[in-house]
Amino acid sequence: MTGPLTLDMVAGKMKEFGNSELVRKNRIRITTTPDKVHDTIKTAQAMLGCDRLITISAVDNTRTLELIYHLTGPHRMVLSIAIELTRDQPAIPTTSDILPPAAIYERQIHDLFGITFTGNTNLNRIMLNEDWPANEFPLRKDWKPGPDTFYGGIKVERT
């Protein structure tokens, strides 16, 4: 599929997964739920010619945690698939089995936001140091460095 991708085409294929809207010239945003993420991405790959994952963005909006999967393809249209997750023990099925580049982004988001991607077997630390304390997720809005918490490295007195 190499022709241009229109909102009608996307909305038609994505009807069962959620609402599609054209947010600017070449961006279509699809809102869906965590349990449908796998099928949404599979449909985007198979029916809408999306062969490339640009990135997975994560946002903490203080009420929920949001994940936005940005996909593109030869049509050069960007499909942004947005999902909201609860802040309490957020978890979502991994998409690294259908989109191999997702694995490293999932690892990064797991490290910084504490979102679990079930099925991803390699969620080791990648951005934070290996002796960073567990259950401290620095990019969450309510995170503040604890005065007595040890965040790894060499213990020093500050001048």
Partner 1 sequence: MPEVVVSIGPHHPALKEPVNFKVVIEGEKIVRLELDLSYNHRGVEKAAEQRDFIRVLPLLERVCGICSHAHSTAFAKGIEEIMQLEVPPRAQYIRTIIAELERMHSHLLWLGVAAHVIGFNTLFMWTWRDREAVQDTVEEMSGNRVHYGMNEVGGVRRDLTPAQVTAALERLPNLEERIKKYVDMVNSEETMLIRFRGVGKLSKEEALRYGTVGPTARASGVDYDTRKDDPYLAYADVPWNVVTDTNGDVYGRTRVRIGELWESLKIVRYCLENLPEGPIRVTAPRNAPTGEILSRYEAPRGELAHFIRTNGTDKVERVDIRTPTLANWTSVAICLVNQNLADLPVIVAAIDPCLSCTSRITLLDSQTKKTGVMSFDELIRRNRSRDQGLVRP
Which residues here bind partner 1, judged by CB under 8 A?
A: 24, 26-27, 51-55, 57-61, 68, 70, 72, 76, 78, 80, 99-101, 103-105, 108, 125-130, 138-139, 154-159
50 in Cβ contact with 79 (< 8 Å): yes
Whether the Cβ atoms of residue 127 and residue 137 lie closer than 8 Å to each other: no
Is the Cβ of residue 37 or residue 107 nearer to partner 1 in the bound state?
107
- Round to whole Å and give the CA distance between 58 and 110: 10
Q: Which is nearer to partner 1, 43 or 96 (CB)?
A: 96
Taking the complex as a whole, the smallest distance from the CB of residue 108 to partner 1 amounts, in Å, to: 7
Nearest residue (CB) to partner 1, 15 versus 66? 66
**Number of Cβ atoms within 10 Å of the Cβ of 58:** 21
- The CB-of-39 to partner 1 minimum distance in angstroms stands at 20
As a whole number of angstroms, the distance between CA 97 and CA 87 comes to: 25
15 or 98: CB nearest partner 1: 98
User: CA neighbours within 13 Å on the CB side: how many for 145?
Assistant: 5
Q: Look up residue 94 and give its two tokens.
A: 């991994």
Give least dist CB 120 to partner 1, A. 13
